[in-house]
Structure 1
Amino acid sequence: MSHGVLALGVAVICVSGHVWYLPACIDLRAAQDRPESRRPAAAAVLTGWATAGLTMLLLLAPFTLWAAVVVGSAGLSATLTLAVRSWLLRRQEQCEEAARWAALLPVSTVAPARRPDSARRAGPARHTEDDC
């Protein structure tokens, strides 16, 4: 398969990807109006799409296929790093929010109804502060 066909495929995907990278641009421009975890997530989206665009340009230029592979793998690792950072920040934000709600709505002091042992073991999993 020629480089032009690969570049054309990447170009079509990049054009159709505006539903992801335009909202990411808006999230980055909003800065402090969005939660902190949204910025690295938006940066990850933009890095991924920029990598795809740059890979397309390298496929069209008279470079070897290895140049596109190197740029693609570097962009992929940067995108994954930003996505993991965003996930960790989101997890921290969720724990902080759970702590705020726990302070607002203290646990009831009424004893729960007595259930059989089998129902107690099969009961729903509860979120505790140890999870954070």
Structure 2
Amino acid sequence: MSTPIRLTQYSHGASCGCKISPAVLDTILSGSGSQTLDPNLWVGNASRDDAAVYAIDDHTGIVSTTDFFMPIVDDPFDFGRIAATNAISDILCHGRITADGDCDSGLADQPDTRRNRG
């Protein structure tokens, strides 16, 4: 019988403790070449953000977020739920919330694809 894989064995820190510092990020991004800032880019690398907001019109933007963090739990399903919650939180932080208070994630009409955990 094989030993179960513990996701946390690959972590060198916990949650925000595993993020790189802004100074290290600046060094990494400085080698990416000059940036032409598009006036429709409301949020991007210039603001040291892990999300981008691109204007569609004067009042509407598309939000894209990329997060990477080390596992803080061993169960892959729980880790996926935590990662999804973090991504939705990033979107909410950028004001992507509808007038009725719901987060418009684009997933409302998707079937429940959660695996059977029994």
- Given the two structures, how large is their TM-score scaled by the length of structure 1? 0.26
Structure (1 or 2) with the greater helix fraction = 1
Q: Max radius of gyration: which structure?
A: 1
- Given the two structures, how large is their TM-score scaled by the length of structure 2? 0.28
